[in-house]
Structure 1
Amino acid sequence: MSKLNKKQVTNFAIDGSLIAFVFKDTQIKGLRLQTHGGECYIKLAKHLRANCDLLLPGIQLQVIGEKQLYLTGEVKLKALQLLTETQEIKIVSPPVSTILVCQKSDCLKRGGKEICQVIAATLSDRALSEQVKIKGTGCMKNCKAGPNLVMPDKTRYSRIKASQIPGLIDKHCASSLQPTP
Structure 2
Amino acid sequence: MNKYQSTEITQFCLEGRFLEFVIKDGYKLKGLMIMTSEGEYYVKLAKHLRFAFDLRLPPGTVLQILGTKKYCTETGRVKLKADRIMAATGEREIHPTSVAQAVMVRESDNPKPEKKAVILMCQKSDCMKRGGKALCQALENELGDRNLDNVSIKPTGCMKNCKGAPNLVMPDKTRYSRIQAQDVPALLDKHFPKVTPHRQPTEQLQEGNIVVPVVC
TM-score for both structures, normalised by structure 1: 0.50
**Bigger-Rg structure (1/2):** 2
TM-score for both structures, normalised by structure 2: 0.43
